[in-house]
Structure 1
């Protein structure tokens, strides 16, 4: 079974960096086609929960999640909701290694990370890729770090679809006919009207993508297209950026090794040691002395 067989529709995906994922093959058996349970989607170390953002993101594809360990938007949204309400979890880490994925359902994950970050710190780590939908999600974190050599960006949406141009191998020519008020149903990109309708949908998705990145990263919305452009033309966005450019453009906050990142995060949320009885006694005496002196 090929992973590419399960990926379709409007995409927020860096196809260049998704090639290896799309080519992935695996064998599936019926007895294992259930989605991962909540506990299998994250690990907790001390007071920090670590959530992987991995592979090509789909809305709820249990097969890709089970066999390849890829993130689903629904699963990530459920995980963030669970961890937000867990009082034993002081902070959440989202570690990204993803070229993006399917737009359908993706904004549920985006909003879930945004909501979680309002409850407790959410730290994103790009290691080594956070492109398109994956970056859309990561942009809602409290802050973003990336490891040396990593890539972020590919902000925008795309659509790929075939259009019949000649009879197939069976000798038959297939046609798509639509009812009078459903020209936008399965719009043909080779048709002028269909192309315009698809373009409008893509532009609407991009507008929401830009809006969320602007809010999450604190970048002025009007300035964002220029920051994402490879040159001075604001329409030349959609590319990915290495560490120095990503920091300069405000897409991430800092660059550090994975080891340094986790040392910093774990230290920040390490449980505070309780004072010993001797220390408590000394504190009590000091307070008493203060009261007497007063």
Structure 2
């Protein structure tokens, strides 16, 4: 029986740009793959690292569907986890050979659980040394929550940022025999462009209350990180005159105009600027921890 990654997110609040995540969510969960395929995937992940350091600049890839601590998805696909990111930021903040940190993002977002803690870790590292972000080409939803805590955000030409809001899919039993299910797709109040029983008024109200509570934390983090007055943020994110019509993604000059990004530049130009500003003579120094995780996954797959 095929088990898809999307099932891992079912029923939980998510901060994800669904239009950019469909292919990833439709992939087979690695644990459901054949032992031979699992071994090949884990072996390929051995070369992946949580970060590298070169000439004083630490580069932290933020990739894929973000989860709190899925060692399987991290080892198999090289996708980031909130636990891994928080651990990485704490380590880099302490390292004497790191003058500045870059979050290199290509992610449509993921689960809400764990994201706030990782975002706080980015902000904490930023209090110690410069932290910059580049959406290359995408930092959407939960990934933008993380990027917003950097001191600057660059956007590659044609890149995407935004999708600021929270969503949830829930079901309610319906039908005379109570064997059917009605599916509901909910968004937080300021994310229309994005379970208690949603088939009842009280259940729906509770689900919306929980989503809006998460959205409030998301908005507060973005406003703080991007120096946007909190009362102005919902209007800036709206695609109409109604502040509830937020949750969309934005590109290029529009993202900059709305205060969601600072510059539009190629990755080559961005890294040339980072090296010029923060670079120093230093040997590349990859994290050893992720290699250990991948090695453990390979050992498990071989059993």
What TM-score do the two structures reach when normalised by structure 1? 0.82
Pick from 82, 85, 88: which aligns with 1:76?
85
Residue 262 (structure 1) aligns with:
271
The SS at the match of 1:208 is: helix
CA distance in 2, matches of 1:28, 1:154: 35
The SS at the match of 1:190 is: coil
Report deviation, 1:269.
Answer: 1.9
The answer to whether the Cα contact below 8 Å between 1:83 and 1:89 also exists between their aligned partners in 2 is: yes
The answer to which structure has the higher strand fraction is: 2
Rate the CA distance shift 1:172–1:239 in 2: closer, same or farther, 3 A: closer
Pick from 153, 165, 173: which aligns with 2:179?
173
Q: After TM superposition, list the pairs within 5 Å mapping 1:39-78 onto structure 2.
A: 40-78=49-87
CA distance in 1, matches of 2:231, 2:245: 15
Which moves more between the two structures, 242-251 or 16-25? 16-25
CA distance in 2, matches of 1:251, 1:270: 26
Residue 282 (structure 1) aligns with:
none
Determine if the alignment matches structure 1 residue 141 to structure 2 residue 146.
Answer: no
Pick from 135, 140, 145: which aligns with 1:126?
135
Report deviation, 1:95.
Answer: 0.8
CA distance in 2, matches of 1:84, 1:54: 21
Determine if the alignment matches structure 1 residue 20 to structure 2 residue 29.
Answer: no
Residue 5 (structure 2) aligns with:
3
Pick from 104, 118, 131: which aligns with 1:109?
118
Determine if the alignment matches structure 1 residue 243 to structure 2 residue 252.
Answer: yes
Residue 232 (structure 1) aligns with:
241
CA distance in 1, matches of 2:246, 2:34: 38
Report deviation, 1:56.
Answer: 0.8
Report deviation, 1:270.
Answer: 2.5
The SS at the match of 2:172 is: coil
Relative contact order higher in (CA < 8 Å, ≥ 6 apart): 2
> What is the root-mean-square deviation in Å for CA atoms of aligned residues?
2.3
Structure 2 unpaired stretches of 5+: 182-194, 282-303
Report deviation, 1:99.
Answer: 0.7
Structure 1 unpaired stretches of 5+: 176-185, 273-294
Report deviation, 1:161.
Answer: 1.8
Report deviation, 1:173.
Answer: 3.5
CA distance in 1, matches of 2:178, 2:102: 53
Rate the CA distance shift 1:249–1:63 in 2: closer, same or farther, 3 A: same
**Paired residues, number:** 257
Give the structure with higher Rg (CA). 1
Rate the CA distance shift 1:28–1:158 in 2: closer, same or farther, 3 A: farther
The SS at the match of 1:163 is: strand
The SS at the match of 1:262 is: helix
Q: After TM superposition, list the pairs within 5 Å mapping 1:203-242 onto structure 2.
A: 203-242=212-251
The SS at the match of 1:89 is: coil
Structure 1 segments of 4 or more deviating over 4 A? Answer: 28-33
What TM-score do the two structures reach when normalised by structure 2? 0.79
The answer to whether the Cα contact below 8 Å between 1:12 and 1:155 also exists between their aligned partners in 2 is: yes
CA distance in 2, matches of 1:260, 1:93: 14
The SS at the match of 1:71 is: coil
